[in-house]
Structure 1
Amino acid sequence: MDVRRADERYPGGDPRAGIVSRHAFSFGPHYDPDNLRFGALIACNEERLAPGAGFDEHPHSHTEIVTWVVEGELTHRDSTGRETRVRPGDVQRLSAAGGVRHVERNDGTAPLTFVQMWLAPLTPGGDPSYEVVPGIADSTPYAVPEAGAMLHVRRLAPGERTALPDGKYVYVHVTRGEVRLAAGTLGPGDAARITGAEDLEAEGVTETELLIWEMAP
């Protein structure tokens, strides 16, 4: 179990434009050949957008992009003509496939915080696709078969326990609160990379929310 703390993330974004980013993996100018991916996961970015701030239209390809809003409301537009609002509890997925362009903005009046996770597809290419699953229930898994991965959302009360999935690669990201794992206590923005997970549990220290990726080899 390899614990990475929030303050170890690579800084990014443009604070003067109201964009603050923190990258868990090698990203942009922060190139680290020893931190390129974990399982299928190639990025786990914490993004904070001030009201009116956002990312102008930009391209993606050969990537499964899963977004989880922690607070606020995300406006998403892409080159397929879709425009959506993504709120806390919703799961958004954009399969970039052979290529797509999109815009992400905070068009609201409150700060926006979201976690965006990129996964490498098993087979590159194809046609882009998009979906939003509103209000995903606790413990309801969300499958990304294109990347051989499953996302589990866990919300724990203090003292409440949950089993982590067994698997070759398991990635745990804390969005809020504190949780206790075998390696110690993790807080907001902390993550654990677990190889060969078996019979592990997480226990809520406070009210907490976890994003857990279960990934095949």
Structure 2
Amino acid sequence: MTAATTPRVDIRRAEDRLSTRIAWLDSKHSFSFGQHYDPDNTHHGMLLVHNDDIVSPGQGFDTHPHRDMEIVTWVLRGSLVHQDSMGHAGVIYPGLAQRMSAGTGILHSEKNDSWRLAGSQSPEHSEPVRFIQMWVLPDEAGVRPGYEQLEVEDELMRGGLVPVASGMRKHRGGAAISINNAGAALSVARLRSGESVTLPEAPYLHLFVAEGEADLEGAGRLAEGDAVRFTATGGQRLTATGGPAEVLVWEMHERLGG
């Protein structure tokens, strides 16, 4: 792992993302994923996967394995059912942060079918679920698999960038769920039109406009689905334009490889 040296602001437009489309899934990939491989687009900092998924009702990802990865899921609309081999089962919805540590190995499924859960009184719905799933490498391989989720809706309503998943010392005891990476943190902001936040300063940042539009100081307009990869820079102001916006920001202090 090495530190960033040359300042860079790299804007990646929504329409340039790799995509996977099948009958029940519309998935946009910010980095190489699955059958899509680009040797020049495999990660940024410690972030290896950043998928923007829309899943049809009653459908989803059947049980599949993961190992040695910190997987953070953030739902933008609808609901997503998580079930895993450690006995965790629950519904993820907007404002609920979720982390799964794959560690030595875990099986899980993710589906848009909350009405099928045992004891559910909810009627079958017809709403797709849209969620962002992000993978970062852990500091140590072979840890015990784990799961954590936390409601952060109240913190988001207070404004500003809210840490929602972090392994960094400065966020201990705060609202964020924990991840097994001491140099990485995900923050989310829900901005009213005209409202601004200041991005953190770090060797590596990844900014994603999940909903709405925003203006980035020194770079201009960003549309929904646009992302920016910052290297050895930060501190820019980001302002929602034309309506409310929701943005996701990864702050990272190391990167994979040389």
- Could you tell me the TM-score, scaled by structure 1's length? 0.95
Q: Kindly provide the CA deviation profile for residues 50-92 of structure 1, in whole angstroms up to 9, marking residues without a partner as x.
A: 1101000000011100000000000000000110100101111
Give the counterpart of 1:169 among 199, 204, 209: 204
Give the counterpart of 1:107 among 113, 136, 160: 113
Q: Deviation above 3 Å: which 4+ runs of structure 1?
A: none
Give the counterpart of 2:40 among 29, 34, 38: 34
1:187 is matched with which residue? 223
Alpha-carbon offset, residue 198 of structure 1: 3.1
Q: Name the amino acid aligned to 2:130.
A: T
- Alignment of 1:66 onto 2:72: yes
Alpha-carbon offset, residue 13 of structure 1: 4.7
1:86 is matched with which residue? 92
Q: Name the amino acid aligned to 2:253.
A: A
Identity of aligned residues (%): 42
Q: Structure 2 CA distance, aligned partners of 1:54 and 1:105?
A: 4
Contact 2:213/2:245 (8 A) holds in 1: yes
Q: Name the amino acid aligned to 1:67.
A: T
Asked which structure has the greater CA Rg, the reply is 2
2:238 is matched with which residue? 202
Q: Name the amino acid aligned to 2:244.
A: E
Give the counterpart of 2:151 among 121, 130, 134: 134
Distance 1:84 1:95, change over 3 A: same
1:97 is matched with which residue? 103
Higher strand share: 1
Q: Name the amino acid aligned to 1:168.
A: P
Alpha-carbon offset, residue 179 of structure 1: 0.6
Contact 1:88/1:135 (8 A) holds in 2: no
Q: Structure 2 CA distance, aligned partners of 1:142 and 1:161?
A: 19
Q: Structure 2 CA distance, aligned partners of 1:70 and 1:143?
A: 16
Structure 1: runs of 5 or more not aligned: none
- Alignment of 1:118 onto 2:135: yes
- Alignment of 1:149 onto 2:177: no
Alpha-carbon offset, residue 156 of structure 1: 1.2
RMSD value, Cα: 1.2
